[in-house]
Amino acid sequence: MDLKKIDAPATTTTYNRNEIDEATGNIYESISIIAKRAEQINSEIKKELIEKLEEFATYNDSLEEIFENKEQIEVSKFYEKLPKPHALAVKEWLDSKIYHRNTEEDNNL
């Protein structure tokens, strides 16, 4: 996921209910799919952040040696300014970038 090219809103936005449930015909199913994608996005972002912050980690036993690393602070600020995972998931859903299928319909065939 390229976090620099994200165009999802960073603030609260009102969406048209009909656009959200258009793909499934059921608002609850659509929201469930969006929520699952938001969890995936959140875990991806968290994994990336942890990997980047581990580059700056120093492993020592002394509590007196605390260093402020400007690069580490900049990385943290970048991730804090990103849109929330649910906003990213809704944007992907509205752009039809999320693949979904109904397994109950597949079993009935």
- Residue 19 makes CB contacts below 8 A (sequence gap 6+) with 94
* Within-domain flag for 1: no
| H or E element in which residue 20 lies | helix 17-20
* Within-domain flag for 18: no
Whole-number pLDDT of residue 45: 93
* Within-domain flag for 92: yes
Higher confidence at residue 2 or residue 9?
A: 9
Whole-number pLDDT of residue 5: 78
* Within-domain flag for 17: no
Phi and psi angles of residue 60, each rounded to the nearest 5 degrees, phi first: -140, 160
Whole-number pLDDT of residue 66: 57
Distance CA 1, CA 43 (A): 12
Model's pTM, two decimal places?
Answer: 0.81
CA distances, 79 to each of 24, 75, 85 (Å): 32, 6, 11
Structural domain tally of the chain? Answer: 1
Determine how many CB atoms are found less than 10 A away from the CB of residue 72: 15
Per-residue pLDDT of 45-67, as tens digits, reads 999 999 988 887 766 655 555 56
* Within-domain flag for 51: yes
